[in-house]
Amino acid sequence: MSSTSALLDLDQFEKLAAAGEITTVICAAPDPYGRLVGKRLTISAFRTLGLDGGGVNASSFIFAVDLEMNPLDLPVSNAANGWVDIRLVPDLSTLRRVPWEPTAALVICDAYHMDSDEPLAVAPRTILRQQIDRAAQQGLRFKFASELEFYLSCTPPRQAWDLGYQNLKMMSDYRSDYQMIQAARDDWFIERIRNQMPEFGVPIESSKPEWGLGQQEVTLDYCDTLEMADRHVLFKYGVKQLAHSADLTVTFMAKPKIDEVGSSCHLHVSMWSTDDDQPLCWCPERRGMSDRFGAFVAGQLRHAIDMSLMYAPTVNSYKRFKPDQFAGTAIALGMDNRSCAFRLVGNGPSFRVENRIPGADVNPYYAYAATIAAGLDGVEANLPAPDIFDGNAWTREGVATVPTSLHRSLDLFAESKMARTAFGDEVFDHLLSSAQGELEAFDSHTVTDWESRRYYERV
């Protein structure tokens, strides 16, 4: 089923609602961590608020909390402004049925101020729209695809929680990367993802076992930027729902165990013309990058380090950045070279660049926005196309590498004039303050198992 046929227009929705086939509408917006937050509405409430009214009221708090839902006291929402309400306004182009909840529909919402039609600047969808609009002013649009990895455990979710997510029974017992025997064993569940995600408006290209024990990779079909970010979030939401119903525990952590390989989210991006929807990446004469696409890629390389916060948002993200484990640690551009953070793949209309830095914990709205902002800086500066690296970038002397801690990443982002200019002061400061809150929670409010083992009796 295509994404288009999986979506509902209002006539279809009303017919299903009148027949009692849809009784609940999930109105949800992506939060700063790429999670869906919002409310479940009755049909009458959705008509009153979502269709005929100004939207669904919610506290601005949802954009100013940490992962534990603790308030961060940010300018958008704090005690001084009373954690003021905002409006979640349905984007009706995203209305769809939920395959694993037959009587439910879901619609993604944009966030607006209560007293105006001005979008909430710090909402992830607004942040991405801002960069899409900047690109459109230069006659450019982009298509993205997320390639997500995750781990599955046979330990049921409640038991896994009680165990502190330690010593879980994983879906595979030995390394099975690309192995079809393991793929067949896992397919009682993975086929639900392949089959039900398209019914959810998230087309799937392929699935396969990955290198880690219980690790899977699912590749999503590419599409326009905002829709791809939405699909990415819906995919993670769906996988978590499906896993829970199957008594499996799933994680999209970048590095669930220090002695296991991390989970990536490779971002594929291509450049297109807004005028005639033609691809602009490929130069037939050179059989490689066009000048404009080369400048876009050069911008990404130039700002990969100072924008790493947008690709690696958590303390755990940086545990994945180990050389020779296929994380995008070496800032170089290769032709189908997985040792490079940026990898050129395809040819002709399918020619594109893959960013291998992000982990599976990434917020796609932030990562796509960072990709466009960095690339546009390269286009505006008319940077020459980067040289193509040949060999092992992990071991080559002189190749820059990504930061290895959230501390360093925050410092670099704070100093980025390009990021502040591209996002604007309000958004830039919000992103910085949110990340500082995440780091403080780890630095000041946590005692790790490592500390207990190392220091308990010995100091």
Q: Which residue type sits at 195?
A: N
- Average model confidence (pLDDT) across the chain: 95
Distance, in Å, from the CA atom of 344 to the CA atom of 69, rounded to the nearest integer, reads: 39
Two structure tokens written together for 408: 């360093």
Residue 137 has pLDDT above 70, yes or no: yes
Residue 210 has pLDDT above 70, yes or no: yes
- Which residues, in sequence order, are CB contacts of 84 under 8 Å at separation 6+? 59, 60, 77, 114
Residue 4 has pLDDT above 70, yes or no: no
Two structure tokens written together for 290: 């066009």
Distance, in Å, from the CA atom of 88 to the CA atom of 54, rounded to the nearest integer, reads: 8
Asked if residues 355 and 300 have their Cβ atoms less than 8 Å apart, the reply is yes
Asked if residues 254 and 325 have their Cβ atoms less than 8 Å apart, the reply is no
293 band by pLDDT with thresholds 50, 70 and 90 = very high
Q: Which helix (H) or strand (E) holds 380?
A: helix 364-380
Distance, in Å, from the CA atom of 69 to the CA atom of 33, rounded to the nearest integer, reads: 11
Give the domain ranges of the chain: 10-118, 131-450
Closest CA to 375 of 126, 127, 134: 134
- Which residues, in sequence order, are CB contacts of 389 under 8 Å at separation 6+? 332, 333, 334, 337, 340, 396, 399
Residue 324 has pLDDT above 80, yes or no: no
**What is the share, in percent, of the chain residues with pLDDT greater than 90?**
90
Average of pLDDT values for 235-262? 96
Average of pLDDT values for 231-259? 97
**Better-scored residue on pLDDT, 323 or 303:** 303
Largest distance between two CA atoms of the chain: 70
Give per-residue pLDDT as tens, 379-389: 999 999 999 99
- Which residues, in sequence order, are CB contacts of 119 under 8 Å at separation 6+? 110, 111, 112, 113, 126, 129
Q: How many CB atoms lie within 10 A of CB 178?
A: 11
Give per-residue pLDDT as tens, 16-52: 999 999 999 999 999 999 999 999 999 999 999 999 9
pLDDT at 285: 85
140 band by pLDDT with thresholds 50, 70 and 90 = very high
Q: How many CB atoms lie within 10 A of CB 267?
A: 27
Distance, in Å, from the CA atom of 272 to the CA atom of 142, rounded to the nearest integer, reads: 6
Where do runs of H (alpha helix) occur along 282-363?
291-303, 308-311
For the entire predicted model, the pTM comes to 0.96
Distance, in Å, from the CA atom of 403 to the CA atom of 329, rounded to the nearest integer, reads: 8
**What is the share, in percent, of the chain residues with pLDDT greater than 70?**
99
2 band by pLDDT with thresholds 50, 70 and 90 = low
Whole-angstrom Cα Rg for the chain: 22
**What is the CATH number assigned to the segment(s) 131-450?**
3.30.590.10
Distance, in Å, from the CA atom of 265 to the CA atom of 368, rounded to the nearest integer, reads: 12
Average of pLDDT values for 318-342? 92
Two structure tokens written together for 364: 């796609």
Strands (E), 342-439: 342-345, 352-355
Asked if residues 264 and 360 have their Cβ atoms less than 8 Å apart, the reply is yes
Closest CA to 368 of 433, 305, 307, 292: 307
Residue 404 phi/psi, 5-degree rounding, is -110, 10
pLDDT at 287: 82
**Which residues, in sequence order, are bridge partners of residue 152?**
250
Two structure tokens written together for 264: 């990536």
Strands (E), 239-314: 249-251, 265-273, 282-283, 288-289
From 40-49, 182-191, 317-326, 424-433, the region with the lowest mean pLDDT: 317-326
Closest CA to 94 of 9, 160, 217, 209: 9
Two structure tokens written together for 68: 């534990």
Two structure tokens written together for 288: 């490689």
Give per-residue pLDDT as tens, 155-164: 999 999 999 9
Domain 10-118 = CATH 3.10.129.10: no
Distance, in Å, from the CA atom of 317 to the CA atom of 373, rounded to the nearest integer, reads: 22
pLDDT at 39: 98
196 band by pLDDT with thresholds 50, 70 and 90 = very high
Q: Identify which of 62-71, 280-289, 380-389 has the greatest average pLDDT.
A: 380-389
Residue 267 has pLDDT above 70, yes or no: yes
Average of pLDDT values for 82-92? 96
Closest CA to 43 of 20, 65, 66, 60: 20
Average of pLDDT values for 239-256? 97
Residue 441 has pLDDT above 80, yes or no: yes
Residue 273, CA distances (Å) to 135, 136, 278, 333, 377 in order: 10, 9, 5, 23, 17
